[in-house]
Structures are given as structure tokens and as C-alpha cells.
Amino acid sequence: TDQAKAGRVSCRWHAAYSMSTPIVFLDVDGVLNSEVWVRSHPHVAMIPPSFAHDALAEALIDPACVVRLRRLVETAGAQIVISSSWRYRMEPEEFAKMFAMFDWAAAPVVGHTPLSLSSAPRGREVSNWLGRHKPEFVPYVCLDDIEQFFPHQPLVRTDPEIGLADS
């Protein structure tokens, strides 16, 4: 299954073919960084960066994981929707700026899942976003290190120790 691939970049989309643009629902912690990466930067707390401090953002994000994400997104012709808790502190435009710091100026960040005061599982947030923005079926995949999704939702679960890895 896709979940068994443990965060591998190669993955099967939710549908074999669709005229709609695929969506990557993206978590950050455990996907674009890892426990190994954070341990190598002990002076940095695990908090979303302030873009007044670009060095902090660069220390929190593993450039190799950004390269892998970019390859996946560009190969699939996909767009990115942020599903990470980082969305509570950063707007989609700030994520685009963050990716630009890693030489990906055209990162197609198109939004984030709904903000909620409840502790709704990410799968519900993904369903809500799809219902509001993509009323017709669209292929998608969820990249996350936590399994908070419905069984029918395509999840590539990463290993938080290493983040997004090659297949």
C-alpha cells in the first residue's frame, strides 16, 4: 500500500487519471524536516519560522526533503495545499517564500486546509478542503508523518526520523 512506502517520493495517486490538477496535502514536521535534521541543529526550537529570521527557516527545513518534494510536485504537475500545523502561523504566501529560499521560486502553494479550534483529524480537514475547493473528483495524496486520515485517503506516511525519502 501507499502507507507502507513510509514516505517514499514515488507514490500512486488517488486516481490513475484525471483532467484536474493533482493536489499534495503537505505536512512539514517529519516530512520537510526530520528528527535527525533537528538534532543536527540543536540551537533551533521546533517552531514555525519568522521570515525576519531567514536563518531560522533554513535551519528548520532539510533542503534534501525540499528537493524531493519539488521533484514529486513537478513530475505530477501538482499543487500544494498545506495541512501542517504550521498553517496556524504562516500564510500560503509565506510558504512560497520559504520554498524560494531553497531555490524553488515557483512552488505552487495554493492554500491550506481549514483552520479549526477543535482537534479534528487531518483527514477531515482534507475532506473539508476538497469539498470547498474541488467539488469534482481530483487526484491527491497526503504527505504526513502521523496517521490521522480516513482509510480511503491516500497517505504516504513518512518516518519522522528521516523525513521525505527517496524510493
The pLDDT of 117-145, averaged and rounded, is 86
pLDDT band at 161 (very low <50, low <70, confident <90, very high): very high
3-state secondary structure of 103: coil
Average pLDDT, the chain: 80
pLDDT for 163 beyond 90: yes
**Residue bearing the bigger pLDDT, 167 or 88:** 88
pLDDT band at 155 (very low <50, low <70, confident <90, very high): very high
Alpha-carbon distance of 27 to 85, in angstroms, equals 8
Q: What does DSSP assign to residue 141? A: E
Q: Which one, of 131, 128, 126, 159, lies nearest residue 142 by Cα?
A: 126
The pLDDT of 151-155, averaged and rounded, is 93
The pLDDT tens digits of the residues spanning 50-93 come to 544 455 566 688 999 999 999 999 999 999 999 998 888 888 88
Check: CB of residue 82 under 8 Å from CB of residue 113: yes
Check: CB of residue 24 under 8 Å from CB of residue 73: yes
pLDDT for 108 beyond 90: yes
